[in-house]
Amino acid sequence: MRSPARHPQILPRRTFLRGSAVTLVAVHTAAVRAVAATADAPLLAYVGTFSSPLKDTLPTQVDLPPGNGRGIHIFKVDRASGAWTEAGVHELGTSPSCLVVNADGTRLYSANETDRVGPGKHGSVTAFAIDRVTGALSPLNTVSSGGAGPTYVSLHHNGKHLFVANYFGGSVAVLPILADGQLGAASDVKEDAGEIGPTKAENAPPGSFAFSGHDRTHAHQILPSPDGRHVLHVDLGLDRIFVWTFDAARGKLTANTPHTVAFPPGDGPRHFHFSPDARRLYSIQEEGSTVVTLDWDAATGTLEARQTLSTLPPGFKGSNFCSEILVSADGRFVYCGNRLHDSIGIFRVKADGCLEYVGEEWTRGNYPRSFTFSPDGQFLACCNQRDDNVAIFAVDKASGTLAFSGHYAAVGNPSHVVFLDLAAE
């Protein structure tokens, strides 16, 4: 941490009132204490995992083999070094594979990637209250996700709706958030439909045998647009991004016109991320191993593809499965996860919004499922799913490059990380 700044100047007038001088010293002392308090306030990391069923419980995960995680793991993060220290675990045997924290840091929601809820074999979503002193989680309630195997959750900006993508159910749902933070039954559920793409991706690297999701519909991610007027989700099996207009008063989704944007057959769009200026969207394709730059028109809810690049180094041959995509907070860089190649591809955003390949960083582990920036953007935490660890990287904000910090956190089958800054009130 940077040391607190000293008072910027010596008072030039000896006649300055003593009371004023005392006031200035008091204000300065209070400011120093405030900075120190912020630095000392815990920064927590919650890690969602693939976890095996707990004893005497029925739900199980759909991602096989059974997971090594114990539920939602909690760590305290050193703000200076990036090192993580174990702070507890909320045991949950339903594979809480994706997490989201609300804006004021009082509630956490988990997508439980199961298919054993109710007669329809749905997954579930759990709401938790967060202890603002310790970070401990207290369950509020659990509801059906509206489909099997929920793999992604996100919040609307109004804090009153949670969106869910059900991977094995091929559907998305809107869940109302009640005044106490609990979840209500789905106000809307939409099931994907269309022609399933081929098992061979059009843009796959030479020699690739990557195949994962072209057997049926697979909703993989759902996010509201930056202005909250639209909701977008990807279906990997259909090779499409769906665009909906969102009625926040009723919690309903209505097909936008046009409703979808298509990607090359078999490429399998998995995740996407908006640029900070909300003018572009970057999509990563799981089986095609590509990143696509699209222009976003917020007024009409339309997307137009402008550029397609490989997420892999020039000349790569063989199989790879892409995973996560993130845009830096300043909008200057885009980061793309590569599983099997086990790297994070780094791209510079040019003046026109298109991308330029910078390089890649080895993830120091096997099968990087996702990664997340710390709140200040100084570190990136990467979930190496098959190596049972989270690896921590320092971020060079000028060049966009990553440098391994030397720090790992041991977590069985980590899937997703969210941070909570307890200094932020």
The type of residue at 205 is: P
Instruction: Report the C-alpha gap between 218 and 236 in whole angstroms.
Output: 5
Tell whether 253 is covered by a domain.
yes
Q: Identify whether the C-beta of residue 77 lies closer than 8 Å to the C-beta of residue 419.
A: yes
Q: Is residue 285 part of a domain?
A: yes
> Global pTM?
0.89
**Cα distance between residue 156 and residue 164, in whole Å:** 11
Q: What does the pLDDT look like over 390-406, one tens digit per residue?
A: 999 999 999 999 999 99
Amino acid at 85: T
pLDDT over 70 at 26, yes or no? no
pLDDT score of 77 more than 50? yes
How many domains does the chain contain in total? Answer: 1
DSSP β-bridge partners for residue 402: 395
Residue 127: inside a domain: no
Q: In this model, does residue 411 exceed pLDDT 60?
A: yes
Find where tokens 């202005």 sit. 227
Domain containing 230 equals 192-362
Question: Does 168 map to a domain?
Answer: no
> 120 Cβ partners below 8 Å, 6+ apart?
144
Please report the pLDDT score of residue 59 as a whole number.
46
Is there a contact between 235 and 283 (Cβ–Cβ < 8 Å)?
Answer: no
Of the pLDDT bands very low, low, confident and very high (cuts 50, 70, 90), residue 39 is: low
Identity (one letter) of the amino acid at 265? P
* CATH code of 199's domain: 2.130.10.10
**Closest CA relative to residue 2, chosen from 285, 256, 376, 351:** 376
Stated as kind and residue range, the H or E segment containing 27 is: helix 18-40
Mean pLDDT of 199-217: 92
What amino acid is encoded at 214 in this protein?
Answer: H
For a pLDDT cut of 90, what percent of the chain falls above it?
82
**Percentage of residues of the chain with pLDDT beyond 70:** 87
Query: Residue 130: which of 202, 229, 42 has the closest Cα?
Result: 42
User: Binning pLDDT at 50, 70 and 90, where does residue 337 land?
Assistant: very high
Q: Please tell me whether residue 294 adopts helix, strand or coil conformation.
A: strand
DSSP result, 387-425: GTEEEEEEE-TTT--EEEEEEEEE-SSEEEEEEEETT--
State residue 69's pLDDT score. Answer: 94
Rounded mean pLDDT, 194-212: 93
* Lowest-confidence segment of 5-9, 43-47, 298-302, 356-360 by average pLDDT: 5-9
Handedness of CA 25, 28, 30, 32 (dihedral sign): negative
348 in any annotated domain: yes
Q: What is the rounded end-to-end Cα distance, in angstroms, of the chain?
A: 20
Judge whether residue 110 has pLDDT over 80: yes
- Residue 2 is predicted with a pLDDT of 33
Residue 211 lies in a domain: yes
* pLDDT tens track for 249-273: 999 999 999 999 999 999 999 999 9
- Please check whether residue 376 lies inside any domain of the structure: no
Mean pLDDT on 33-54 = 74
Is 58 exposed, middle or buried (CB count within 10 Å of its CB: 0-12, 13-18, 19+)?
exposed
Mean pLDDT (the chain) is 89
Q: What is the mean pLDDT of residues 100-108?
A: 97
To the nearest 5 percent, what fractions of the chain are helix, strand and coil? Answer: 5, 50, 45
Which residues does residue 164 pair with via DSSP β-bridges, in sequence order?
Answer: 153, 173
Cα 20 → chain centroid = 49
Torsion, Cα of 209, 210, 214, 218 (10° steps): 170
Domain assignment present for residue 89? The answer is no
Q: In the chain, how many H helices and how many E strands?
A: 1, 28
pLDDT, position 65: 55
The predicted pLDDT at position 28 comes to 39
